[in-house]
């Protein structure tokens, strides 16, 4: 077994607390807390998540929190990784105005007001901190403060603690003042910036069938090799790529100032402009067919092209004029045959590429995104660990497997995953990182927490039982 998977946190305490696991997913919070606490209730609206949770923990989660909250039992700790879509940059960002998901925090508060747990641990996307110019976070903190809680928040990522994944999330810890005597002593775990390596999560026992299932496709190999021609040619001359690199703009000359959207231009105006590019343009083409010549990010513009986009376009056109003589004459024509996504490159390797051998996509982490082919250094999994865009590990010659995604999320090696690969990726992508939550929880356990079940206070952890990575 890999050293990383053996480096589990060491504990020594007989303190047992009770927790409820709201929006439980597949059980990231549960696995993090179960060493010192017993789950007395869990809920999640996703049926597939509930099945995985039950299989691993023997608890059948409830469904909708709006129903479950009426029957919540007494508990010491409340955890909730409540839905992030209303606050995420990739979502609608309506926040609490989202009529479907934005009101769920108030459901959490209904439970808090009723049961008054001693400890609350909330998790959400990084953007939650700045959403609505900070007002969203202020509402959450203000609501908890009104109920008698000492509230602290911090943005943390697993990679700050020697876990090979960059996944920045905001964690909010609320301590009920009357139940936690030394609440002001709470602090988030100290960032260690330990070294980490992507190979620490690798599964080396894949079958030949699995190797084939997750392998880089022949189409992807061909496209990556094609981009490598430009990468090697440019970097060997100590030149830089525009960020991002849009091949759709190479040799383009359409006007950046003028009538927008394109649909407001006359057919003749579109024809004349495209003719300037010396394209083979048929006079009998429809207006829709003429518009189709423009890159997709131009076709949908309403009004004028944003300044930032104009800047990117100009930088890419200039880059190509200065460097097109470095590659074969047919390089651009071949690139134009690729799907839109494969015509865009984000080279994020930077100074990590030190030799000619490093000027190679296959040496790095490859992330296929709508914004293009993102190539980054190897020491971490991208923030979207496994939702829809599954990272390709270049030196491995394949995608990250669900089990490796689970390793990156710090789940136990024997944690049972959903049999459906796509579903499993999504579940893991939505989960909290287990070891990161453990680190936070162990800091909480250093405090004197009053439990209503034995009328005692939990003692300070013994000196040898503090959070520690086994060497």
* CATH number of the domain that residue 151 is part of: 3.40.50.150
**Same domain, yes or no: 124 and 240:** no
Q: What is the mean pLDDT of residues 45-68?
A: 93
pLDDT at residue 61 greater than cutoff 90: yes
- Phi, psi at 195, each rounded to 5°: -65, 150
H helix runs in 367-455, sequence order? 402-408, 421-430, 434-444
Sequence-distant (≥ 6) Cβ neighbours of residue 306 within 8 angstroms: none
Residues 458 and 329 in one domain: no
pTM for the model stands at: 0.83
Tokens 């691993």 found at: 56
The verdict on 189 and 216 lying in the same domain is no
Domain closes at, from 400, 433, 456: 400
Tokens of residue 74, six digits: 């007494």
Residues 350 and 444 in one domain: no
354/443 same-domain check: no
Alpha-carbon distance 230 to 380, whole Å? 25
Please indicate whether residue 49 is annotated as part of the active site: no
Strands (E), 357-427: 365-369, 372-376, 392-393, 398-399
| Contacts of residue 174, Cβ cutoff 8 Å, sequence gap at least 6 | 119, 120, 121, 122, 144, 149, 150, 151, 152
Could you give the angle at the alpha carbon of 25 between the alpha carbons of 21 and 31, nearest 5°?
A: 60
- Asked if 246 and 321 sit in the same domain, the reply is yes
Domain identity same for 305 and 332: yes
Q: Quick check: 178 and 456 in contact, CB under 8 A?
A: no
Residue 394 belongs to a domain: yes
CA gyration radius, the chain: 26
Alpha-carbon distances, residue 383 vs 164, 171, 191, 404, 454 (angstroms): 11, 16, 18, 15, 41
Q: In this prediction, what percent of the chain has a pLDDT beyond 70?
A: 87
234 and 358 share one domain: yes
471 exposed, middle or buried (CB, 10 Å; 0-12, 13-18, 19+)? exposed
Which of 24, 43, 49, 84 is labelled catalytic?
A: 84
Q: 55: helix, coil or strand?
A: helix
Residues 208-246 pLDDT 10s: 999 999 999 999 999 999 999 999 999 999 898 998 999
Residue 453 has a pLDDT of 67
For residue 400, the tally of other CB atoms under 10 A from its CB is 26
**213-223: pLDDT as tens digits:** 999 999 999 99
Shared domain for 189 and 68, answered yes or no, is yes
The total number of structural domains that make up the chain: 2
Q: Which residues pair with 368 in a beta bridge?
A: 373
Identify whether residues 41 and 158 lie together within a single domain.
Answer: yes
Residue 165, beta-bridge partner list? 381
Give tens-digit pLDDT for 371-406.
Answer: 899 999 888 787 654 455 789 999 999 999 999 999
Kindly report the backbone phi and psi dihedral angles of residue 313, in degrees, each rounded to the nearest multiple of 5, phi listed first: -60, -45
Domain around 188: 3-196+421-465
Beta carbons within 8 Å of 58's beta carbon, 6+ residues apart: none
**Is 266 within the bounds of a domain?**
no
Is the pLDDT assigned to residue 251 strictly greater than 70?
yes
Please determine, for residue 100, whether its predicted confidence score (pLDDT) is greater than 50. Answer: no
Could you report the per-residue pLDDT of 150-197, keeping only the tens digit for each? 999 999 999 999 998 888 999 999 999 999 989 999 999 999 988 888
Q: Give residue-wise pLDDT tens across range 410-430.
A: 999 999 999 999 899 999 989
Q: Are residues 392 and 439 in the same domain?
A: no
pLDDT at position 416, please?
97
Q: Are residues 231 and 139 in the same domain?
A: no
């Amino acid at each position: 077994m890999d050293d990383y998977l053996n480096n589990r946190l060491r504990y020594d305490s007989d303190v047992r607390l009770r927790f409820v696991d709201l929006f439980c997913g597949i059980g990231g919070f549960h696995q993090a807390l179960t060493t010192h606490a017993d789950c007395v209730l869990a809920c999640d609206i996703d049926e597939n998540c509930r099945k995985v949770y039950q299989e691993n923990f023997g608890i059948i989660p409830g469904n909708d929190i709006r129903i479950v909250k009426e029957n919540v039992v007494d508990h010491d700790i409340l955890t909730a990784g409540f839905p992030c879509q209303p606050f995420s940059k990739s979502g609608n960002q309506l926040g609490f105005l989202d009529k479907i998901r934005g009101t769920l925090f108030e459901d959490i508060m209904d439970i808090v007001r009723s049961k008054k747990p001693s400890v609350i641990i909330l998790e959400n996307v990084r953007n939650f901190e700045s959403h609505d110019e900070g007002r969203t976070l202020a509402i959450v903190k203000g609501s908890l403060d009104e109920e008698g809680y000492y509230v602290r928040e911090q943005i943390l990522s697993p990679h700050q603690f020697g876990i090979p994944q960059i996944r920045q999330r905001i964690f909010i810890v609320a301590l009920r003042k009357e139940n936690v005597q030394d609440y002001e002593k709470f602090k988030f775990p100290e960032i260690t910036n330990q070294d980490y390596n992507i190979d620490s999560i690798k599964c080396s026992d894949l079958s030949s069938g699995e190797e084939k299932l997750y392998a880089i496709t022949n189409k992807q190999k061909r496209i990556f090799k094609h981009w490598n021609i430009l990468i090697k040619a440019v970097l060997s001359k100590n030149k830089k790529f525009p960020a991002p690199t849009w091949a759709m703009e190479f040799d383009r000359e359409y006007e950046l100032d003028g009538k927008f959207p394109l649909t407001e231009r006359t057919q003749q105006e579109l024809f004349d402009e495209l003719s300037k590019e010396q394209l083979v343009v048929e006079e009998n083409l429809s207006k829709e067919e003429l518009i189709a010549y423009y890159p997709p990010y131009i076709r949908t513009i309403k009004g004028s092209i944003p300044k930032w986009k104009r800047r990117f376009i100009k930088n890419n056109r200039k880059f190509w004029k200065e460097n097109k003589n470095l590659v074969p004459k047919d390089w651009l024509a071949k690139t134009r045959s690729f799907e839109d996504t494969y015509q865009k490159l984000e080279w994020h390797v930077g100074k990590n590429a030190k030799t000619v051998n490093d000027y190679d996509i296959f040496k790095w982490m490859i992330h296929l995104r709508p914004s293009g082919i993102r190539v980054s250094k190897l020491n971490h999994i991208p923030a979207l660990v496994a939702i829809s865009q599954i990272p390709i590990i270049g030196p491995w010659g394949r995608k990250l497997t669900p089990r490796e995604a689970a390793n990156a999320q710090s789940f136990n090696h024997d944690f049972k995953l959903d049999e459906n690969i796509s579903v499993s990726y999504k579940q893991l992508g939505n989960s909290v990182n287990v070891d990161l939550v453990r680190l936070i929880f162990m800091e909480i356990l250093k405090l004197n927490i009053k439990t209503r079940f034995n009328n005692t206070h939990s003692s300070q952890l013994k000196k040898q039982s503090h959070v520690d990575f086994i060497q």
